[in-house]
């Protein structure tokens, strides 16, 4: 039982490049989330998916797109990376609306 897995663990991009962060969960949860963590800012919600086939914007969605591929997988795409997107990205899943289970994170640097 792996819980929530994320790939890659680390990534360095040049400004303007694109990439997709992958997330998968094996707990059969309906809801999945993408957060970014920045120093002094806590965890801020980028996008979430309440159930398979639905996605909604969170607090900081600009510059990102998401895909809920199936119940297990929820990907985050940066179409044209900017230095302001340098951050640690966490994926989470939950069944109940409160207790979320987090992946280990992806550390992204945009130069």
Partner 1 sequence: DQQVKQNSPSLSVQEGRISILNCDYTNSMFDYFLWYKKYPAEGPTFLISISSIKDKNEDGRFTVFLNKSAKHLSLHIVPSQPGDSAVYFCAASAYGNKLVFGAGTILRVKS
Q: Is the dihedral of CA 33, 100, 58, 12 positive or negative?
A: negative
Closer CB to partner 1, 3 or 16, in the complex: 3
For 87, the token pair is: 């951050």
Contact between 58 and partner 1 per CB under 8 A: yes
Residue 110 has phi, psi (to 5 degrees) of -115, 120
Radius of gyration of the chain, Cα coordinates, nearest whole angstrom? 13
Binding to partner 1 by CB under 8 A, coded x per residue (else -) over 33-52, reads x-x----xxxxxx--x----
Closest separation in Å from C-beta 80 to partner 1? 26
Per CB under 8 A, residues contacting partner 1 are 4, 33, 35, 40-45, 48, 58, 90, 92, 97-105
């Amino acid at each position: 039982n792996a819980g929530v897995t994320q790939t890659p663990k680390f990534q360095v991009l040049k400004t303007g490049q694109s990439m997709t962060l992958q997330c998968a969960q094996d707990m059969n949860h309906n809801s999945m989330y993408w957060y970014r963590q920045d120093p002094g800012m806590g965890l801020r919600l980028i996008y979430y998916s309440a159930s398979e086939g639905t996605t909604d914007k969170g607090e900081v969605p600009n510059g990102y797109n998401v895909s809920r591929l199936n119940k297990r997988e929820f990907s985050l795409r940066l179409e044209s990376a900017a230095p302001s997107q340098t951050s640690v990205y966490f994926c989470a899943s939950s069944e109940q609306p409160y207790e979320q289970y987090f992946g280990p994170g992806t550390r992204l640097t945009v130069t």
